[in-house]
A and B are shown apart, each in its own frame.
Chain A
Amino acid sequence: MRQRLANALVWVISAIVILVSVVFALLQSGLI
C-alpha cells in the first residue's frame, strides 16, 4: 500500500517537473 503511495508520488513529482519546465520554456521563448 505504501508502495502505491510512493509510486503515485513519483508520478506527481515527475508531472510537476515537466509542467514547470514547459512553463519556463514558454516564458523564455516568448510564447506566453
Chain B
Amino acid sequence: MNVSTRRILQGSAWILLYLLLTLAPLLVLFVDQRPAGREFWRDFSVALGFCGLAMMALQFALTARFKTLKAPYGSDIVYYFHKRISIATFLLILAHPILLFVFSPDLLRLLNIFDPQTPWRARFAVTSLLALIGLVVFSVWRKKLKIEYTRWRVTHGLLATAGVALGLAHIVGVGYYVNTPLKRWLWIGYATFWVGLLLWVRIIKPFLLLRRPYVVEQVQAERGNAWSLILKPQGHPGIRHFQPGQFAWITAWDSPFADSEHPFSFSTAPHPEGKLGFTIKELGDFTARIKEMQPGQTVYVDGPFGSFSCDQHPHAQNLVFIAGGIGITPMMSMLRTLAERGDRLPLLLIYANRDWESVTFREEIEGLRTRLNLTVLHVLERPPENWQGERGYVTAALLQRVLPTDRTPNHTEIFLCGPQPMMDAVEKALVQVGVPMGDFHSERFDLV
C-alpha cells in the first residue's frame, strides 16, 4: 500500500469515528429503550443539543496534538477544520434552546438564572451557552478585539472547559434521555474521555515538557527582519529525529503550564546532539521578542508535528518548493537535510519576496546550489534596477513555464508555504496548470 492510499484510508477512518462519536448519543437511543416521545420540535431540539455537546467535547481531541490523528491531513488543516466545525457545533447547540423557546415560550422564564424558582439544570444550560457564546466571539473576532494571543489561548481553554462541563451537568440534571444504564455509560464515557484529554493537555503534557527543557545557544539576525534561534537540549537527548519541514510548539518566558506556546517550523536539519533551529520573523508580540532572547535562557519545545515534508514522498522524481517570505523556513529545513544526505534529486525553489534585500537565507541558498541539484528562481515584487530575474508574483503563467512538464501523479511533489493570499493564489494556479491535487502540499500557520 503506498503512502497516499494509506493516508486516505487513515483519514477516512478518523472521519468515520468522528461521525460515529458525534451521533452516538442518538444511535444509542435508537437501539436502547426510549422514554415516551414528546412533540417533534422538542425532541428535534434535544437531539441537536446531544450531538452538539458530543461534537464540542470532540473538539478537545482535535486540538490535543495526537500525531496519529493529524498525520493523514496535516496539522494546519486539522486546526482549520476545528475552527469551522466549532462554528457549526455552536449553531447546532444554539438551535436547541431557540427551538424550545419558539415552541414553548413559557420556558423563557428559565433564562433568569437568578430567580430562586429556576432549577439548576436550567442554570447549567444558560451558563454553558454563555461560555460558548464567549468562546465563539473571542475566537472569531480575536484580532478585531485586539486580544493578545496568549491571553486568548487561556480564555479559550477555560471557556471551552466550562461550556462542556456545564453542558454535561445540564444533561445529567434533565436526565430524560439518560435514564438507562447503556445511556448513562455512554455519557460517563464521554465525560471520562473528555476529562482524560484535559488532564493530558493541561497537566501531564506540560509536566513532561518541564522535564525536558532546552536552552538558547544562539540568536542570530537574518535578512528580512527574521531571527534564527538555535536551541540545545538540557539534560536529555532532545529531538534527534524529525522530518525536515515539520514544526514544533515553543514556550519561552513562561512555564509549559502557562499555555503560552507558539508554533514554528524547524529551519535546520535534524542534529545528532538534538539541537533545534528555528527562524522567526518579527510579526507579532511574541515574535518581536525573539531578538531579546539570551544564550542560556530556558525554553520548552513540544514536537515534532506535521506531515509537510519531502520525507513523506520518498518516490518523488522531482521536488519543487514554493516559498513566500518567511515561508522559506520549512523549505530550508528540507534543503539543508537533503544537502547533508548528499541527495541529487532535481530540486526547484521558487522564492517570492518583496525586495532583494529582505530575502532571508539569500547567501546560504546560493551556497546550497553547489551541494544540491538545485535551481533557484527568485520572484521579486519590487526588484532592484537591472534585475534580470522574475518580477511580480508567482502566477500560473510562471508555473507553466518553470515546473517539470511530467504531470504523472506522484512524479513531482510540490511544497508551498507563505502568506495566506499568496498560498490561495498559488494553489489555484497549480490546479490551472494541471498539477494533480495530491501532488501539492501546503503549510498554513494562521491557526487562530
Residues of B with C-beta under 8 A to A20 = 23, 26, 47, 51
Interface size on B, residues (CB 8 A): 37
User: Do A31 and B40 have beta carbons less than 8 Å apart?
Assistant: yes
User: Do A2 and B88 have beta carbons less than 8 Å apart?
Assistant: no
Q: Is B341 an interface residue (CB 8 A)?
A: no
Interface size on A, residues (CB 8 A): 23
Q: Which of A1, A9, A10, A22 contacts B44 (CB 8 A)?
A: A22
Q: Is B37 an interface residue (CB 8 A)?
A: yes
A-binding segment of B14-22, B183-191, B196-204, B253-261: B14-22
Residues of B with C-beta under 8 A to A13 = 18-19, 22, 85, 88
Q: For the complex, what is the distance from the CA of A9 to the CA of B319, rounded to whole Å? A: 30
Q: For the complex, what is the distance from the CA of A17 to the CA of B431, rounded to whole Å? A: 32
B424: nearest residue on chain A (CB-CB)? Answer: A3
Q: Is B239 an interface residue (CB 8 A)?
A: no
State whether A24 and B442 are in contact (beta carbons under 8 Å apart), knowing that A2-B73, A3-B80 are contacts in the complex. Answer: no
Q: Which of B42, B73, B88 contacts A14 (CB 8 A)?
A: B88
Q: Which of A9, A14, A16, A31 contacts B81 (CB 8 A)?
A: A9
User: Do B88 and A6 have beta carbons less than 8 Å apart?
Assistant: no
Q: Kindly provide the distance from the CB of B19 to the nearest chain A CB, expressed in whole angstroms.
A: 6
State whether A17 and B43 are in contact (beta carbons under 8 Å apart), knowing that A2-B73, A3-B77, A6-B81 are contacts in the complex. Answer: no
Q: Which of B37, B41, B84, B92 contacts A27 (CB 8 A)?
A: B37
Within 8 A of A (CB), among B23-50: 23, 26, 29-30, 34, 37-44, 47-48
Q: For the complex, what is the distance from the CA of A18 to the CA of B92, rounded to whole Å? A: 8
Residues of A with C-beta under 8 A to B18 = 13
User: Do A2 and B74 have beta carbons less than 8 Å apart?
Assistant: yes
B73: nearest residue on chain A (CB-CB)? Answer: A2
B88: nearest residue on chain A (CB-CB)? Answer: A14
State whether A2 and B22 are in contact (beta carbons under 8 Å apart), knowing that A21-B44, A21-B47, A31-B40 are contacts in the complex. Answer: no
The 10 A-B residue pairs whose C-beta atoms are closest, nearest first, are A21-B47, A28-B37, A25-B44, A25-B43, A29-B40, A28-B43, A6-B81, A10-B84, A14-B88, A24-B47
A residues with CB within 8 A of B: 1-3, 6-7, 9-10, 13-14, 16-18, 20-22, 24-31
B residues with CB within 8 A of A: 15, 18-19, 22-23, 26, 29-30, 34, 37-44, 47-48, 51-52, 55, 73-74, 77, 80-81, 84-85, 88, 92, 427, 431, 437, 440, 442, 444
